[in-house]
Chains A and B, each alone.
Chain A
Amino acid sequence: MKVLVAVKRVVDYKVQIRVKSDNSGVETQNVKMSVNPPDENAIEEAVKLKEQGLVNETVAVTIGDDKSQDVLRTSMAMGIDRSILVKTSISLEPLAVAKTLAKIIEKENPDLVLLGKQAIDDDSNQTGQILSALLNWPQGCFISELKIEDKKLFISREIDEGIEKLETSIPAVLTCDLRLNTPRFASLPNIMKAKKKPLDVIEIDTLGIDIESKIKVLNVVEPPKREAGIMVNDVKELVQKLKYEAKVI
């Protein structure tokens, strides 16, 4: 069995996001970039499956410029066998990402595709779902547990009512929740080894797909600042304020 993991390079979750002064987007210059955290869960799960002997090859894919190689090296330092960079300087929308991944999947022929449930930069939460539709494969989203027996997938998902248990077959697309596992640290010797693992680069133009943006970003602004609270003298005043000023009752 072969697993393909899709990885996105995003602004590190510890960075305080700042809107560019010209309001064209978020400042990414000189900002620390990392593997999208839910993608780390996908990587961890793939590596675990391989350690359990259920999978014999793990491949990581990312889409981006040359700098995106760092998230692939991190993936390989965590235990992924080899990786592919689909090179482009444009930032892609979920549909274009899914189309690109579908092309790679056509070539690589994996039995299972693992993705993070969403990326922490745009929070779109669409790529996995679109990909499963494009491939016409079953999907399991926000999985918090995965068991594989006789080529069948047993999935748990945390939903409002409790835990939903699903069963499906391979090939399938799964998106991973943070609850699925605890991603390992890349050890120093493994970082060294990852430098020697294969990393293929594919120019996005060679895939023959339409990656043009369908959405135009007009303006990016910071959310309005929360105003300071005030002290009220009595319940009457509170009700007045809630009714006429805040207009919530």
Chain B
Amino acid sequence: MSDIQREEMSYDVVIVGAGPAGLSAAIKLKQLNNQLSVCLLEKSAEVGAHILSGNVFETKALDELIPNWKELNAPINTKVNSEEFLFLTKKKSFKVPNFFLPQSLQNHNNYIISLSNLCKWLGEFAENLGVEIFPGFAASKLIFNEKGEVSGVQTGDMGLDKNGNPKDNFEPGINIKGKVTVLSEGCRGHLGKEVIKKFNLEANNKSPQQYGIGFKEIWEINSENHKLGKVMHSVGWPLENDTYGGSFCYHAENNQIFLGYVIGLDYKNPYLSPYDEFQQFKTHPEIKKILTGGKRISYGARALIEGGIQSLPQMHMPGALLIGCDAGTLNMPKIKGSHTAMKSGIIAAQVIDKHISDGENLSIYEKEFKNSWLYKELHLARNVKPSFKWGLIPGMIITGIDQKIFAGKLPFTLQHDHADHESLELAKNSKKIEYPKYDNQFTFDKPSSVYLSGTNHAEDQPCHLLLKDSELTTTYTLEEYDEPAQRYCPAGVYEVELNPETNKQFLKINSQNCIHCKTCDIKEPSQNIDWVAPEGGGGPMYSGT
């Protein structure tokens, strides 16, 4: 396809991904200098449609960016008014008294929101400032100039058939050039992954990056079970002691609750199914009580970044910045990444403004970042996630000492030992897990869940889940690990089927089901799966998530 004539457009700044980080960068850029031309590409069909988050929102960064957000009717209405932290066993639950909880887990002054709705609102705000937002356009490739600096992105070709040949409605992608490119694709962005490798941005990292997979369902529940403004977290059952994870349950507007589960992708047992752990969690008496009489109206899943400051790559490179969860600014003990992503975007805008108007080098990002509250916050949070490598109880004790007594100021930094794809044990050394059948009342199978995510990809397009070596799926992941993809994928994209002719099992990839969570790209033990952006507009159609 190299002989295609591609149109070209030029901007001062090209931003990839309309999440909290990218939108904040775009808004701040326009606030600093209205003359700057800013282009924002978003692969989902509209802003917010690929945004899935808990979300208990800390307004700190938004207060800085748009101080009068309240008067402007930002969709931030439900203040947290009560909190519960539960330790679950199979049948029982134990309430952890709030005064035992570290500051980072106390949520007064925060709001229960839909981040998808907030991003939609921020998108309109940005457009009113003159930011040109193009939803439905995926940035598929990076463009480099003759000096090897990032000089923009190429949007994906539209209208290719599954063999990569142009169809009737073929529309070639175009080159969008920018003086600065900002990558804010969210956790494990495929361009972010490329620049981290190309510019060796993790060279000074003490720890490999860490990830988790998060699930979220929205339920409309009986009003007598609904307590507007209540936040509940749990750890424990159904996860084993050695698996990092926990649940959230937030009582939002309109009798809705946001129910979710996060599991660290450093889990060891290839038979573990994060999806089924979440489904099973909903059958705990404490949760069933809330859901009884309710109706599930939405489902989604997304990988999130958990490595913290010790895994954070260098965020600047020639011609580009890497921000938000594309780099990894989430605060794990707070389980919050929105305000930190937004702050990283605000800093990016300030740096870019200085770069374009005063010729400052983009590398000043490092200094600006280190001088910000964002760095301080992530620094204080750094020891929580790695302390759980010794198991749930030791992790909670160390976290208690670190966060409650020393407020994150212990004079050492715990490191993460392995990358998540290295953590799986061989299938033959692992215990098989039997998950209970779905009851279609509290628990559901993957197809009916994916249906609720509104996922759709144009039919007859090239598969966007690339295998570096297709042999490995049988000779390695299937034989050694019993193909964990069939369990870690939250959308049933990967299925192991029997070929009746050869009588051998093979991996079937239903890429049209993909909800763009990127877990396969992270967890596949041989790093064989490469997630790339499918045709723009495809993927889930989240709303209110």
List the interface of chain A (C-beta within 8 A of B). Answer: 12, 14-16, 18, 21, 30-32, 34, 182-185, 187-189, 191-192
Contacts and interface: CB of A to CB of B under 8 A. Distances in A.
Contacts of B541: 12, 14-16, 32
Contact of A12 (B45, B120, B220): B45
B158 interface: yes
9 contacts: A15-B543, A16-B454, A21-B220, A182-B169, A185-B171, A188-B7, A189-B7, A189-B9, A189-B174
A183 B456 contact: no
B340 interface: no
Interface string B528-544: 00000000000001011
B139 to A, nearest CB: 11
- State the majority secondary structure of interface residues on B: mixed
B167 A182 contact: yes
B53 to A, nearest CB: 15
B254 A14 contact: no
Given A12-B45, A21-B255, A185 B158 contact: yes
B171 A187 contact: yes
A192 B543 contact: no
B452 A187 contact: no
B45 A185 contact: no
Contacts of B451: 16
Nearest to B159: A185
B202 interface: no
B interface, size bucket: 20 to 34
Interface of B: 7, 9, 45-46, 48-49, 114, 116-117, 120, 132, 134, 137, 155, 158-159, 167-169, 171, 174, 176, 220, 254-255, 297, 451-452, 454, 456, 541, 543-544
A182 B168 contact: yes
Nearest to B137: A188
A176 B297 CA distance: 34
Contact of A184 (B7, B114, B120, B171): B171
A184 B166 CA distance: 13
A218 B459 CA distance: 38
Contacts of B452: 16
A153 to B, nearest CB: 23
Nearest to B456: A14
Nearest to A181: B168
A191 B134 contact: yes
Given A14-B456, A15-B454, 6 more contacts: A21-B220, A30-B114, A30-B543, A185-B169, A187-B174, A188-B155
- State the majority secondary structure of interface residues on A: loop
Q: Most chain-B CB neighbours within 10 Å: which of A18, A189, A192?
A: A18
A14 B169 contact: no
B10 to A, nearest CB: 12
B273 to A, nearest CB: 23
A182 B171 CA distance: 12
A161 to B, nearest CB: 28
Contacts of A16: 451-452, 454, 541
Contact of B132 (A12, A184, A192): A192
A12 B174 CA distance: 26
Nearest to B539: A14
A14 B454 CA distance: 6
A145 B454 CA distance: 32
Nearest to A20: B254
Nearest to A34: B45
A32 B255 CA distance: 22
A100 B116 CA distance: 36
B352 to A, nearest CB: 22
Contacts of A32: 45-46, 49, 541, 543
B221 to A, nearest CB: 11
Contacts of B120: 30
A187 B4 CA distance: 15
A31 B542 CA distance: 9
Closest 10 CB pairs between A and B? A185-B171, A14-B456, A185-B158, A182-B168, A182-B169, A30-B543, A14-B541, A184-B169, A32-B46, A16-B454
A161 B121 CA distance: 51
